Structure 1
C-alpha cells in the first residue's frame, strides 16, 4: 500500500506546490523519487514524531497541505496531544499516514502492534479516519483526504498487499464499497482484513450461506445507509477488523445502529481486550488469536446455529 500512497501524493504535489510530504526518518526506498523531483516539498524531520505534527500545524496555518508519514503506533499514540490540540482543535488540513496498522509488524512485538489507533483517532473531534484495504483503496483515500478540509488519519499496511479490486471502485467520503451481494448475512470489513473477509464469505457460500460483503475504508464518517440496509435486509451483521474490539470499527457500527435506533443481531471480530503476546508474522498471529478465515467462518456458523 505504501507505494500506492506515495505515488498518489506525488501526483497531487506535482499539481499543487503547497503540498508538503513530511517523514519521521522513514520511507527509504520509497521517497527517493519524490525528494529528487520535488526537493522543496519534502522534509525529513528525523525521529521526532510529535515535533513533526507541530511543524505540520505551522505549515498548515501558512497555507500548506501536509501529508505526514510514520509508523501507525507512533503517530497515533506518541503524538496524541499534538494531534488533538495542534491539528484537530484548529481543524487544520493535515493528513496523517500510519504505516503498519494492526498486526502488520507483529513480529516486532507489542510496541509495533497498532491495535488501538482507530479508537484513538476517531475519538478526536474533526478527525476523519480512513482504513483502505488494498493499494487501490489507498490511492482513493489519499485523493479523498486531499479534497476534504480538516485533519485525516489514514491507516495502511506496508507493501506487497494484493489488489483486491479488479478496477477502481466507486467510492466517496463517508461511503462504503459493495464487494458481494447476498441475502442471509452481512459482513462489514475495514482495512487489511478485506482479503480474510472475502475468503470467509467464500467458505460460507460453500455452506449455503449468502453473504452481503461490504468494504468500509471510511470509518469516520461511517456509511449509515449501508448499515441500515444490512440490518433490515439480512439476518445478522458481522464486523471484521485487525484492531481492538474496544472502540474500533465494530464499535463504530454499533454506535451507528444505536443512533439509527435499529435493533440488530451483530457480532464483532477483532483483537480481544488484551495485549497480543504472540510474536511472528501477521498470518501466524492472526491464526493464534482467531482472526483467520477458518476461525471466523466457524464462529459465524456457530452464531447462526449451523
Structure 2
C-alpha cells in the first residue's frame, strides 16, 4: 500500500506545483521518485518529527499542500503537540501519512506499533481521519485527501496487503463501502485487518449465515447513515479494528448508535485489548495472538445471538 500511495502522490504532484513532501529521514526505497522529480519541494528535516510537523505547517500556511510521511506512530505521537497546536489549530492544509498502522511493524516491537492513533487523531478538531484497507482504497483515498482543504490523517498499510474489494469503488470522505451483502448481521471494519473480516464473513456465508460487510474507511467524518441503517436492517453489529479497544472505530460506531437512539442493537467489538502489545512477531501472527483472527470474528458474529 505504501508503494501505491507514493505512486499516486507523485502523479498528483506532477500536476500540482503546490504539493510538498516533508519527511523525518525515513521512507527510503519509496520516496526517491518524488525527491528526484521535485527536489525543491522535498524537505528532509532529519530525525526530528516535531520540526517536520512545524515546517509542514509553515509550508501549508504559504498556500501549499504539505505531506508529512513516516512509519507507524512517529508522525503522530512523537509530535502530537505540533499536530494539535500548529496544524489543527490553524486548520492548515497538512496531510499526515503513516505507513504501517496497527501492528504492521510487529517484529520491531511496541515502539513501532500504532495502536492508539485513531482515538487520538479523531479527537483533534479539524482533523479528518482516513483508514484505507487495500490498494483500491489507498489509491482513491490519496486523491480524496489531496483534494480536501484541511488537515487529514491517513493511516496507510505497509506492504503486500491482499485486495479486499473485487471491483471498482466509489470512495468519498465521510462515506463507506460495501464488500458483501447480507442481513444476519453487519460487520464493519477499518484498515487492512479487513481481510480477516472478509474471510470470516465468507466462512459464515458457507454455513448459511450471510452478513453485510462494510469498510468504514472514513472514521472522521463517519458514515452515520450506514451505521444507523445497519442497526435497523440487520441482526446486529460487529466492529473489527487493529487498534486499542478504547476510543477507536468501535467507539466511534457506538457513539453514533447512542446519539441516534439505536443503542438497543446487539453489538460487539473485535479490537486489541487495552494492554501494551508486548509480544513480538509478524502482523498476521500478532492478530491471532490478540484475538483479531478470522475465528475470533466468526465467534463475535455468532455471539450476537446469545
TM-score in terms of structure 2 length: 0.97
Per the alignment, residue 290 of structure 1 pairs with 291
- The answer as to whether partners of 1:110 and 1:276 remain within 8 angstroms in 2 is yes
Q: Are residues 299 and 228 of structure 1, via their aligned partners in 2, closer, same or farther at CA, if it must alter by over 3 Å? A: closer
> How big is each residue's C-alpha offset from its partner over 1:100-120, in whole Å with a ceiling of 9 and x where there is no partner?
110101111111111100001
Would you say 1:190 and 2:190 are equivalent positions?
yes
Deviation, structure 1 residue 168: 3.1
Q: Secondary structure at the match of 2:261?
A: coil
Per the alignment, residue 261 of structure 1 pairs with 261
Per the alignment, residue 301 of structure 2 pairs with 300
Per the alignment, residue 140 of structure 2 pairs with 140
Per the alignment, residue 226 of structure 2 pairs with 226
Q: Are residues 158 and 150 of structure 1, via their aligned partners in 2, closer, same or farther at CA, if it must alter by over 3 Å? A: same
CA separation in 1, counterparts of 2:248 and 2:285? 22
Q: When the two structures are aligned, how many residues end up with a matched partner?
A: 305
Deviates more, 1:56-65 or 1:160-169: 160-169
Deviation, structure 1 residue 9: 0.9
Per the alignment, residue 129 of structure 1 pairs with 129
CA RMSD for the aligned pairs? 1.1
Deviation, structure 1 residue 74: 1.2
Deviation, structure 1 residue 207: 2.2
TM-score in terms of structure 1 length: 0.97
Per the alignment, residue 169 of structure 2 pairs with 169
> How big is each residue's C-alpha offset from its partner over 1:123-166, in whole Å with a ceiling of 9 and x where there is no partner?
00100000000121111111111111110000012121122223
Deviation, structure 1 residue 230: 0.3
- The answer as to whether partners of 1:104 and 1:113 remain within 8 angstroms in 2 is yes
> How big is each residue's C-alpha offset from its partner over 1:234-293, in whole Å with a ceiling of 9 and x where there is no partner?
111000000011000000000111221212211011001111121111111111111110
Q: Secondary structure at the match of 1:192?
A: coil
CA separation in 2, counterparts of 1:36 and 1:65? 19
Give unmatched runs, 5+ long, in structure 2: none
Deviates more, 1:117-126 or 1:160-169: 160-169
Per the alignment, residue 214 of structure 1 pairs with 214
Deviation, structure 1 residue 33: 1.8
- The answer as to whether partners of 2:96 and 2:153 remain within 8 angstroms in 1 is yes
> How big is each residue's C-alpha offset from its partner over 1:183-221, in whole Å with a ceiling of 9 and x where there is no partner?
110000001111111001011112221100001110100
Deviation, structure 1 residue 178: 0.7
- The answer as to whether partners of 1:72 and 1:97 remain within 8 angstroms in 2 is no
